Chain A
């Protein structure tokens, strides 16, 4: 197991993050949030954000040694929502 920390920086009204398989999740304003994940196992970070068009959403995952293993950066689209996922190995 390895200790990882997820940080979200966003001006969105609401956001939610789920680490596959859905057993680990956190939402605004729970940032940063730390979990123990299996070392080297493949995971996915799924995010959902709601807010005004153009609101920024950034999710960064770091290991205990501060090395980065996942990063998502985007703006909320014209419909006021953003969602997606990205795979990672801690």
Chain B
């Protein structure tokens, strides 16, 4: 990990009047997936009521992790009335490695990056009467009791006295009679189990680029890009899926691949030549509009899915990414699986394993 780059990302965030939440983890590993997944969780909320970081009406949470070959540090807090802010600092684990996803159209993904998001979350509780709630709980318990194929965890929930989503999720997953599922949905959500989120995102990325100057000597330049965007999402907390849409404007820099040249010079006192490659011009600025749509679905601790399509308007590029989460440690804080990716301009496809810090809708 490059801590210096992480520092640069942190500094960028301060320039943005910064703030920070965490999505973590992911990179193929030499360790077996199961070994890694059995490690204690790496995401650690560290806020408490006496936190000096506590803003008015909210608490700051900090987490560290790794995401798509990037090390991340994130902060988040919730204010009253549903307003949340979150910020993330990230940096590549290793410079000059390819990103984990060929489908990523994020022009700032190769350097250190600071992101700041402000969201408004709203949800209107629609619970029924105590009798409806008790009936839903009793019916779910009785329906599950009639099955003889329950795993130990579910059997313990059925034998217990708690009336909560852990029991109801079991009712959905086994599944039980649809009337029971309908009564759960109605009792807790009035048939409308949706949480909505919309907000604004800004970010800045910092990276260095090597190229050849006019005397063909290697030189380096640093560039700072930025992005601004809007996002909106809806999450169904009963059937456990979410749909996320976003659109943003981005300024990034990339090496001018058309200027790639090979320069050779004779090695003194030998007939051999020493050759090296480089770009004969500085990086190109690229302004683009990027829209994305993502559908996330959780079946169980053993299976979750995220399908995302990202489209860049200027050059008509579409990228599709499908991470499939297949393994989980005991508390779900780390997950592993396979990731598929494709983009229409290069027709590159990608398939590989990944380890991530859990799955969130």
Contacts and interface: CB of A to CB of B under 8 A. Distances in A.
B16 interface: no
A82 interface: yes
Contact of B125 (A13, A18, A29): A18
B293 interface: no
A22 B165 CA distance: 19
Interface in B112-136: 121, 123, 125-127, 129-130, 133-134
Given A11-B47, A43-B130, A78-B332, A83 B165 contact: yes
Contacts of A30: 80
Interface stretch (B4-12, B256-264, B353-361): B353-361
Given A29-B78, A77-B332, A86 B163 contact: yes
B335 to A, nearest CB: 9
B interface secondary structure, majority: loop
B237 interface: yes
Nearest to A84: B164
A46 B333 contact: no
A14 B121 contact: yes
Contact of A14 (B43, B82, B130, B133): B82
Given A20-B129, A52-B358, A84 B78 contact: no
Interface in A1-40: 9, 11, 13-14, 16, 18, 20-22, 25, 27-30
Interface in B314-361: 328, 331-333, 358-361
Contact of A84 (B76, B163, B332): B163
A71 to B, nearest CB: 12
A81 B134 contact: no
Contact of B133 (A13, A46, A50): A46
B240 interface: yes
B224 interface: no
Contacts of A80: 360-361
How many of chain B's residues touch chain A, expressed as a range?
Answer: 35 or more
Interface residues of A, number: 37
Contacts of B332: 53-54, 77-78
A38 to B, nearest CB: 13
B127 A81 contact: no
B127 to A, nearest CB: 4
A54 B127 contact: no
A55 B333 contact: no
A30 B80 CA distance: 8
Interface string B233-264: 00001001000000000000000000000000
Given A54-B41, A81-B165, A84-B163, A11 B61 contact: yes
A70 interface: no
B231 interface: no
A20 B301 contact: no
A78 B134 CA distance: 25
Contacts of A22: 125-127
Contacts of A27: 82
A46 B301 contact: no
Contacts of A78: 298, 301, 328, 331-332, 358-359
Given A9-B49, A20-B130, A14 B123 contact: yes
Given A14-B121, A77-B169, 6 more contacts: A22-B127, A52-B61, A54-B43, A75-B331, A78-B332, A79-B169
22 contacts: A11-B61, A14-B123, A16-B123, A22-B125, A28-B78, A30-B80, A43-B130, A44-B130, A44-B134, A48-B123, A48-B188, A50-B123, A52-B22, A53-B332, A54-B41, A54-B331, A74-B164, A77-B165, A78-B298, A78-B331, A86-B163, A87-B134
Interface of A: 9, 11, 13-14, 16, 18, 20-22, 25, 27-30, 42-44, 46, 48, 50, 52-55, 74-75, 77-87
In the A-B complex, the 9 residue pairs with the closest CB atoms = A84-B164, A78-B332, A44-B130, A46-B127, A80-B360, A53-B332, A20-B130, A81-B237, A18-B125
